[in-house]
Amino acid sequence: MPSNDKLFAYNLGQIVPLSEARLHVSDLSVQRGYGVFDFVKVQQGCPLFLDDYLNRFFQSAQLMHLELPLSREELQQVIAKLIDLNQLPEAGMKMILTGGYSEDGFTPMNPNLLITQLPLTLPSAEKVAKGIPIMTHDYVREVPEVKTINYSMGIRLLQEQKASGTEEVLYAKNGVVSEFPRCNFFLVTQDNTVVTPAKNILKGITRKNVLTLAGHRYKTEVRDIRLEEVLQAKECFLTSTTKRILPIVRVDDVLIGTGTPGKISLQLLQDLVELEEKMVSATAK
Amino acid sequence: MPSNDKLFAYNLGQIVPLSEARLHVSDLSVQRGYGVFDFVKVQQGCPLFLDDYLNRFFQSAQLMHLELPLSREELQQVIAKLIDLNQLPEAGMKMILTGGYSEDGFTPMNPNLLITQLPLTLPSAEKVAKGIPIMTHDYVREVPEVKTINYSMGIRLLQEQKASGTEEVLYAKNGVVSEFPRCNFFLVTQDNTVVTPAKNILKGITRKNVLTLAGHRYKTEVRDIRLEEVLQAKECFLTSTTKRILPIVRVDDVLIGTGTPGKISLQLLQDLVELEEKMVSATAK
């Protein structure tokens, strides 16, 4: 990130070159990993589904007892300003709200707000066509309904993930599936029902959109999923803002379906891309 | 912290005024709350039990797959330099090792090392004489054996703690007691056995010292403790580097013993203070 010297960021009330966006080490994110964030995809200058992301960001802040220093309208203005300044065709806009500069290194003070925008690379057509292998791990996120900055487990598992030749880690506590560190999980049953976990998850905006799109074509269910059901699924995929829909072809040592991306997964990805394009066109008008 | 402008800190390879110790926002502590730390008490220029703290710091780093940019000897030299520059009679020396400036905001890079020293106020004689009320919360820390910077839960509970008129939160998952966000837990049984939890805790250096001291006078046990046993204890206390031993007089709504600090707790505190003074004298010689 520091190498990109043509971008601007919002840092502590000011728009500054990204390379100069710094926090004092007394910030509670550094001292205690205390903060929340959210991440919006910006396509051709349009922050997609911004309302949904802002709703969630404000809710995360509230649940962690952090007050945003900007109103929703001011926040939207800063985002628009950064989009205008940075001129990135495809980007991610990340808003981080920390516990602020703490006097005692533990008690939150006035929260610090950072907003950065970086170029985004979506999964390649090749990766989508091939699908990805994943591993599972017995874990459930703390305060899963809040988008905190705590990713200790997901990052700590990166070495294990690499060693296992997989690309993501699916959390399943006591055999009940919840989510990935940064993505939601879906499966398609043998009778073409699209299912996603109900509990102990961060409610992804892409998850919500995919559920809606799936409802137009298939039966959908939001409920508990056990690992055994995953291994017998017809198809599996993950959803996220940056990855859209990515087919899963192997879970631990077990091939899913035929071991290639499923038809329903690819159909839903096409529907999602069309929805995003429709949003971009609508905004451009 | 930023208000104290006469102190120096170690930041990214350099000794700088504390007020200038800053991290770029791409640091993984800010982006993902990813880092480990440790905290040594410095009394009259002597970093107490430094070897134990350094051992734990290096172990935490290893368990989170972070490599320290300094050798143990270099780290000791920086600590000595800061003690010499800052001239604080009673202080805390905090070492933080983060996941570094991450290119993709998720994958650890070269870890960043920060060392700050701040004045420390130990609990007042009045507070020790009165003891503190605590609340309990159904929770167990993630990766409890590692001193990560993740304190989301402890900080999030501060409001509830304040509302309940208590001063600390004791974690007890499914009725089994582990620890406080920043302290270890001890109880004294009706037959004067000193007991502390064995599992799902960060192994405090003060906990270790108190266990040794207690062993000279009483029977000690390191084992699981259930909440019901806590409520029937003769005495309870917490231990930490900054708090030494602090008697607990109420747990949720239940008074412990007579509702005043217990004799054994106060005896052990006296023993600990003497041990610390002996260490300081030995170093000064």
CATH of the domain at B101: 3.30.470.10
Which pairs from B156-164 meet CB under 8 Å and 24+ separation? B156/A64, B156/A65, B156/A143, B158/A65, B158/A107, B158/A108, B159/A65, B160/B135, B161/B135, B164/B135
Rounded CA-CA distance A44/A203 in Å is: 25
Structural domain includes residue B285: no
β-pairing verdict for A244-251 and A254-255: antiparallel
Residue B1 lies in a domain: no
Range(s) of the domain holding residue B80: 8-119
B155, A27 Cβ separation under 8 angstroms: no
**CA distance between the termini of chain B:** 33
Residue B108 sits in the same domain as residue B201: no
State the pLDDT at residue B284: 75
Bridge partners, residue B230, by sequence: none
State whether residue B208 sits within 8 Å of chain A by CB. Answer: no
The residue among B100, B119, B138 that closes a domain is B119
Question: What span, in angstroms and rounded, lies between the C-alpha atoms of B161 and B137?
Answer: 10
Q: Which residues pair with A240 in a beta bridge?
A: A244
The rounded mean pLDDT for chain B is 96
Do A83 and B72 contact (CB within 8 A), yes or no?
no
Which distant-in-sequence residues (6+ apart) come within 8 Å of A79 by Cβ? A40, A47, A50, A93, A115
Say yes or no to pLDDT of B285 above 90. Answer: no
Which of A:157-176 have CB within 8 Å of B?
158-159
Per-residue model confidence (pLDDT) at position B283:
83
Residue A284 falls within a domain, yes or no? no
A 23-42 residues with CB below 8 A of B? 23-35
CATH number at residue B245: 3.20.10.10
**The total number of structural domains that make up chain B:** 2
The reply to whether residue B22 touches residue A24, judged by beta carbons under 8 angstroms, is yes
Answer yes or no: is pLDDT of B134 > 90: yes
pTM of the model: 0.96
Residues B171 and B82 in one domain: no
Q: Are residues B92 and B133 in the same domain?
A: no
Q: What percent of chain B has pLDDT over 90?
A: 95
- φ/ψ region of B263 (left if φ > 0, alpha if ψ in -120 to 50, else beta) reads alpha
Inspect the interface and report whether the beta carbons of A24 and B21 lie closer than 8 Å: yes
CB of A103 less than 8 A from some CB of B: yes
Query: Does residue B3 carry a pLDDT above 60?
Result: no
Residue A283: inside a domain, yes or no?
Answer: no
Q: What is the ipTM of this complex?
A: 0.96
Q: What is the pLDDT of residue A1?
A: 47
CB A120 within 8 A of CB A83: no
**Which A-chain residues 109-148 have CB contacts (< 8 A) with chain B?**
114, 116, 118, 142-143, 148
Q: Which residue of A has its CA nearest to B120?
A: A104
CB contact under 8 A, A21 and B19: no
Domain boundary among B91, B119, B147: B119
Q: Which residues of chain A have pLDDT under 70?
A: 1-5, 285
Q: What is the mean pLDDT of residues B232-239?
A: 98
Q: Do B26 and A152 touch (CB under 8 A)?
A: no
From chain A, pick out residues whose CB is under 8 angstroms from the CB of B65.
Answer: 156, 158-159
Report whether A194 contacts A219 (CB < 8 A).
yes
Cα A148 from Cα B104, distance rounded (Å)? 18
| Of A237, A231, A239, A238, residue with least CA distance to A255 | A231
CB-closest option in B21, B153, B154 to A25: B21
Which of B25, B105, B149 shows the shortest C-beta gap to A32? B149
CB A169 within 8 A of CB A135: yes
pLDDT of residue A64: 97
pLDDT tens for each residue of B32-47: 999 999 999 999 999 9
Best residue in B19, B32, B98, B174 for a mutation probing chain A (most A CBs within 10 Å): B32
Write down the pLDDT at residue A283. Answer: 83
A96 with A204, same domain: the answer is no
Test A26 with B158 for CB contact under 8 angstroms.
no
DSSP bridge pairs for B194: B188, B220
Supply the pLDDT for residue A187: 98
CB B194 within 8 A of CB B213: no
Q: At what angle do helices B205-217 and B263-284 cross, to 10 degrees?
A: 110
Q: How far is A268 from chain B (nearest CA, A)?
A: 27
Q: Which residues are paired to A60 by β-bridges?
A: none
d(CA B127, CA B104): 47
Task: Give the domain-ending residue among A119, A149, A182.
Answer: A119
